[in-house]
Homo-oligomer: A and B are copies of this chain.
Amino acid sequence: MGERTNRGVVYRAPGVVVIEPIPFPRLFNEAQKRKCEHGVIIKIIVTNICGSDQHWTTGRLPIDPGTVLGHEMTGEVIEVGSEVEYIKLGDIVSVPFNVACGRCRDCKEGNTNICSNANPGGLACYGAPRCGEWIGGQAEYAMVPYADFNLTVFRDKTKAMDKIKDLALVSDIFPTGFHGAVTAGVGPGATVYIAGAGPVGLACAASSFLLGAAVVIVADLNKERLAQAKKIGCEIVDISKDEPIPEQIRNILGVPFVECAVDCVGFSAHGSGVEGHKKEQPAHVLNTSIEVTRPGGKIGVPGLYALGDAKATDENARKGALSLRLGLAWAKSISIASGICPVAKYQNRLINCIMYDRVKIAEAVNAQVISLDEAPQGYVDFEKGAAKKFLIDPHNIVRTWGHK
């Protein structure tokens, strides 16, 4: 067994990710010197490129060269730690991107996004800098700790493989978009404004429909992404136009406001208007959300805001601070819910929705399956704004399923 090999997506320099041999996973976290007999090793069936990966690979947020990337994993269990009780060899599983111990107060309360133990210093995530050094999963094989707690098993393997492109998305972006919608108060009959037509924005749109929203309006400056939003039944707002956003909303709804807003963009937001959209304005999405949300409404913020942003154009933003129109928010009694999604909280119900055809999430985000060797090109295309979500299929399993 000593000869088992592995390959993964490795960050080398800003703009440069490569496919390299990496160590075969062990039931151990080297950096934390931590035994993981509660973990399993999985053979990756599918692992996706995420928008947050780009923040690191483009050099926006700090990361060490050599880091193996990837936190959206679906796989087959091929090795089981001695402490694992319920996960079995051969299980097909989804891995929530949050690494969680299942034993601390926050995990017990379902808040796996803020587990105190998996990374004592902060957020815990696979393949992400300063997140507990859990090796990334854009690879052939990966290790998942606390497997009984963290993993969700797809009981019917055949049916799961038939929907594997959809199920691949419950490790992160589908729950993340759903969380954004839930925290914004989306429910039956709601009108929703979603900033960002990237994969999270589209997942949020699909989630909003699932939650019964009457009208889902998606805003972006990327025409191709807006076209994808339109294709799945959303109304659109093109922020590269000079027509003010509230007016674009009025054209759709008859009123210049919505009940719920979701910021699926985060700190790299651009301004709006023919000139304005060309440069970054980190508070623009949030301030627009405050402006277009009706009194008493809520704003969900799944989009990432960084603790600091060395490349930011304004000084506040460099320190992770934003000039927010709090006076307006206060006058309108608006609430703002921010932060990372606790994926485990939503997985079972979203899987049910997929298995019973209540949502076509892979179609919604335009999932494209590529090989591991194509991953670097996927990063390039995604950074250019391709209206696609890239799913890496390192063992050629997804692309051959059903064709045998």
Residues of A at the B interface (CB closer than 8 Å) are 37-38, 83, 85-86, 101-106, 108-111, 113-114, 117, 122-123, 148-149, 178, 183, 187-191, 207, 209-215, 267, 286-287, 295-296, 301, 304-309, 316, 319-340, 344, 348-353, 355-356, 358
Give the Cβ gap from A36 to chain B, nearest Cβ, in Å: 10
A353 with B214, Cβ < 8 A, contacts A296-B106, A324-B324 known: yes
- 17 pairs, A vs B, C-beta closer than 8 Å: A101-B148, A102-B149, A110-B110, A111-B333, A178-B188, A189-B348, A212-B349, A214-B349, A214-B356, A215-B352, A296-B339, A304-B330, A307-B331, A308-B327, A316-B323, A322-B326, A336-B336
Q: Determine if A337 and B338 form an interchain contact, defined as CB atoms under 8 angstroms apart.
A: no
CA distance A401 to B328 in the complex (A): 44
CA distance A148 to B338 in the complex (A): 29
Q: Determine if B325 and A323 form an interchain contact, defined as CB atoms under 8 angstroms apart.
A: no
Of B183, B322, B351, which is within 8 A of A189 by CB? B351
Q: Determine if A326 and B349 form an interchain contact, defined as CB atoms under 8 angstroms apart.
A: no
Give the Cβ gap from A157 to chain B, nearest Cβ, in Å: 14
Of B85, B178, B326, which is within 8 A of A321 by CB? B326
Of B106, B307, B323, B334, which is within 8 A of A338 by CB? B334
Question: With a CB–CB cut-off of 8 A, which chain B residues contact A210?
Answer: 188, 212
Of B105, B122, B308, B327, which is within 8 A of A320 by CB? B327
Q: Determine if B353 and A189 form an interchain contact, defined as CB atoms under 8 angstroms apart.
A: yes
Q: Determine if A337 and B339 form an interchain contact, defined as CB atoms under 8 angstroms apart.
A: no
Q: Determine if B114 and A295 form an interchain contact, defined as CB atoms under 8 angstroms apart.
A: yes
* Identity of the chain B residue whose Cβ is nearest the Cβ of A327 in the assembled complex: B320
Question: With a CB–CB cut-off of 8 A, which chain B residues contact A214?
Answer: 349, 352-353, 355-356, 358
| Protomer copies | 4
Question: With a CB–CB cut-off of 8 A, which chain B residues contact A338?
Answer: 326, 329-330, 333-336
CA distance A104 to B253 in the complex (A): 19
Apart from A183-B335, A211-B212, what are 17 other A-B pairs with CB-CB below 8 Å?
A: A86-B104, A102-B108, A103-B148, A108-B344, A111-B295, A214-B353, A214-B355, A214-B356, A215-B356, A305-B331, A307-B328, A321-B327, A323-B324, A334-B339, A335-B336, A335-B337, A336-B336
CA distance A323 to B322 in the complex (A): 5
CA distance A76 to B38 in the complex (A): 25
Question: With a CB–CB cut-off of 8 A, which chain B residues contact A183?
Answer: 335
Give the Cβ gap from A22 to chain B, nearest Cβ, in Å: 27
* Identity of the chain B residue whose Cβ is nearest the Cβ of A333 in the assembled complex: B339
Q: Determine if A211 and B188 form an interchain contact, defined as CB atoms under 8 angstroms apart.
A: yes
A286 with B215, Cβ < 8 A, contacts A83-B37, A189-B350 known: no
Question: With a CB–CB cut-off of 8 A, which chain B residues contact A335?
Answer: 183, 335-338
* Identity of the chain B residue whose Cβ is nearest the Cβ of A340 in the assembled complex: B333
Question: With a CB–CB cut-off of 8 A, which chain B residues contact A337?
Answer: 335
Question: With a CB–CB cut-off of 8 A, which chain B residues contact A322?
Answer: 323-324, 326-327
Q: Determine if A331 and B103 form an interchain contact, defined as CB atoms under 8 angstroms apart.
A: no
Q: Determine if A324 and B326 form an interchain contact, defined as CB atoms under 8 angstroms apart.
A: yes
Of B209, B321, B333, which is within 8 A of A113 by CB? B333
Give the Cβ gap from A181 to chain B, nearest Cβ, in Å: 10
CA distance A326 to B287 in the complex (A): 12
Give the Cβ gap from A297 to chain B, nearest Cβ, in Å: 10
* Identity of the chain B residue whose Cβ is nearest the Cβ of A148 in the assembled complex: B103
Q: Determine if B348 and A105 form an interchain contact, defined as CB atoms under 8 angstroms apart.
A: yes
CA distance A350 to B191 in the complex (A): 12
Question: With a CB–CB cut-off of 8 A, which chain B residues contact A320?
Answer: 325-328
* Identity of the chain B residue whose Cβ is nearest the Cβ of A317 in the assembled complex: B327
Q: Determine if A190 and B349 form an interchain contact, defined as CB atoms under 8 angstroms apart.
A: yes
